[in-house]
Structure 1
Amino acid sequence: MRSGERLRVTLLAGGVGGAKMAEGLAAVEDIKLSIIGNIADDEAFHGLWVSPDIDTLTYSLAGMIDRVQGWGVADEGKRALDTLSMLGQETWMTLGDRDFGLHIYRTMRRNQGDRPFIIARDVARAFGIKAAIVLPTDDIVQTQVQTDAGWLSFQQYFVREQCAPDVRGVRFEGIETARPTLEALKAILTADVIVLAPSNPLVSIAPILEIPGIGEAVKAATAHKIAVSPFIAGKVVKGPADRMMASMGMRADALGVAQRYQSFVDQLVIDNEDATLAADIAALGVDPVCYPILMKDQTDKARLASEIMAEARKTLDAGGRA
């Protein structure tokens, strides 16, 4: 990074926690932000290709998100779903009327042979988003969750089953042959700072890192690498990460996150309530940093993002890894 240039920041993000972190970083003025979003939750519904995590990023950064539920469009109608239900279709995947418009557009473009990355980029631009939303691959990768009743798609587990079944395993269908986008590799390898959002490590971050070439690029990158824990005192704010990790025999707390990321992360931001885990995290070779990490509103998001960037700048200014 040359003196006077904006920090190039690349965020790996999925789910509501990822979208909140993206909103916080987007409010930091002196950075150039790229966001590599999770596409492994994608699935076809009613003949349309739905990309839940990318849409949550898009709606959040565009100021359109439903703040109560954390996903979907605010002040949304469900008339299209009512019609589908009347016609005997399963409608457990809640898609709003304006939401359908985006899925129609995405599917139309995909059917025309356009690259998914280009489609996501064009949607972000149309929604007035300044940050770059980057897909890790243009190929189809889909998370599947193993339960006592068998394998489920992530949306079946997350939405239809309300995360109720115990999780015995996770796999990413199609990931072995997926190819990383050049845009994702560039965002990683040219970054000054790489941030892992407080997203589910197993089903939001892992399907990004495990795309062939992505994890290797993150490890090889000279950027300062900071992860943000999704746990506060052993619980997550939203989502099933704590139950998933526990049922799969992992530590379901900030130390468990550090164990997942220890091979490549320099720092882990943990909540003040988890300060007692700091010594154990440091013993893994990961520098623990304590802040209040609960993001209740935009002020919290911007504050946490600014604190993360301040930590990164201290390392960069001291001649750290970047």
Structure 2
Amino acid sequence: MTTVPRITVLTGGVGGAKFIVGLRNAFAARFGERPDSAITAIVNTGDDLWLSGLRLQPDIDSVMYALAGINDRERGWGRKGESEVVSAELRGYGAAWPWFVLGDLDLGAHIARTGWLREGWTVSQVASKLAARWDLGARILPMTDTEVDTEVVVRVDGTEHSMHFQEWWTRYRGSMPALAFENPGIDRAEPSAGVIDALSTADAILLAPSNPVVSIGPILRTPGIREAVVHSAAPVLGISPIIGGRAVRGMADTCLRTLGVDVSADGVAAHYGTRTRGGLLDHFLIDDADAALAPLLSDFGLHAHVRSIWMRDEAEATDLAAAVLGIVSRS
């Protein structure tokens, strides 16, 4: 690896945002400088949606807010110091989902984004414009400029129908058994500007401890991205989102079961696959609680690494990222 490596991370969700912050901090501590363009976060846009005439990008905003230090760590999403005056008004008019609250500060980003999109800006141009407000220390790239919002196929009273992922996730908390997760139009999508270059020139590619199905999955299904990861000369390292057979947060367990993937660290590793056998990974990092799985991962053809992967605060996220930098620097 070069002295100051280029790190590209596939990420989404709150866990991915926490890891990106830790990676920025660990990078600065290790190399004595802010990473800025040296770290590129390729962020899931499958969670995106239109609501009340506005374009929302939850994962893009989660990463941006976390890097800017303005995220609400108590709730785990949105801006800190929020109010909800406008959201209450929208509900009063019947113009918003009553179970999906938009904070006033957060609405500022949605309004700005929607205005620029309607003026003809691309999704990636808008993401760059929004991010320029703060000194983030990393570059954020949407996985694609195409709308490929995740739909969840469910069966109700014997009839199959689809709902937006946010409705399934936020309204029903994943309680409605999912039959499939789909991204209509993704077969015709293209990676946003800079994505393939960030992968092909990276000194290391990381799969954040995000939901493998609905956060990392849509990124890898965007035509050209999976191939770019597989054919990269850089080491590819994944971090398990499962500890001791349970999802660290969110509903990764429910999503994995829908795909028939075992809810375990080795189940996720097998889902991603190893590059020696046509998959994605060279390295996989698992928690101490799953140390007994290391020999099995080695049998898969992976370099297995064991340590605490909890990110209960920024210090733990930074320690985890420092360990990851150490692994890929030796590869």
TM-score with structure 1 setting the length: 0.95
Deviations 1:238-290 (A, max 9, x none): 11111221243210110111111111210010000001111111111111100
* 1:285 equivalenced with 2:292 (yes/no): no
Offset of residue 174 of structure 1: 1.1
Aligned to 1:320: none
Structure 1 pair 289–240 and aligned structure 2 pair: CA distance change class (3 A): same
Q: Is the 8 A contact 1:42 1:142 kept in 2?
A: yes
Structure 1: gaps (5+ residues) = 316-322
Aligned to 2:246: 235
CA distance in 2, matches of 1:226, 1:92: 37
Offset of residue 125 of structure 1: 1.4
Aligned residue identity for 1:147: V
**107-116 or 277-286, larger mean C-alpha shift:** 277-286
Which of residues 90, 93, 108 in structure 2 aligns to 1:84? 90
Aligned residue identity for 2:61: D
* 1:307 equivalenced with 2:323 (yes/no): yes
Aligned to 1:26: 24
Q: Is the 8 A contact 1:166 1:244 kept in 2?
A: no
Which of residues 125, 128, 145 in structure 1 aligns to 2:152? 145
Aligned length: 313
* 1:192 equivalenced with 2:203 (yes/no): yes
TM-score with structure 2 setting the length: 0.92
Aligned residue identity for 2:260: G
CA distance in 1, matches of 2:153, 2:293: 30
**277-286 or 32-41, larger mean C-alpha shift:** 277-286
Aligned to 2:76: 70
CA RMSD for the aligned pairs?
Answer: 1.1
Offset of residue 88 of structure 1: 2.5
- Secondary structure of the residue that 2:191 maps to in structure 1? coil
- Secondary structure of the residue that 1:168 maps to in structure 2? strand
Aligned to 1:98: 105
Aligned to 2:178: 167
Which of residues 57, 64, 67 in structure 1 aligns to 2:63? 57
Aligned to 1:318: none
* 1:123 equivalenced with 2:130 (yes/no): yes
Offset of residue 169 of structure 1: 1.1
Structure 2: gaps (5+ residues) = 274-278
Offset of residue 22 of structure 1: 0.5
- Secondary structure of the residue that 1:11 maps to in structure 2? strand
Aligned residue identity for 1:12: L
Offset of residue 118 of structure 1: 1.1
Aligned residue identity for 2:210: S
* 1:134 equivalenced with 2:129 (yes/no): no
Aligned to 2:276: none
- Secondary structure of the residue that 1:299 maps to in structure 2? helix
Aligned to 1:298: 314
Aligned to 2:118: 111
Aligned residue identity for 1:230: P
Which of residues 7, 17, 22 in structure 2 aligns to 1:9? 7
Deviations 1:34-82 (A, max 9, x none): 1000001100010000000000001111111110121100121010011
Offset of residue 199 of structure 1: 0.4
Q: Percent of aligned pairs with the same residue?
A: 36
Structure 1 pair 247–181 and aligned structure 2 pair: CA distance change class (3 A): closer
CA distance in 2, matches of 1:88, 1:176: 35
- Secondary structure of the residue that 1:203 maps to in structure 2? coil
CA distance in 1, matches of 2:261, 2:137: 38
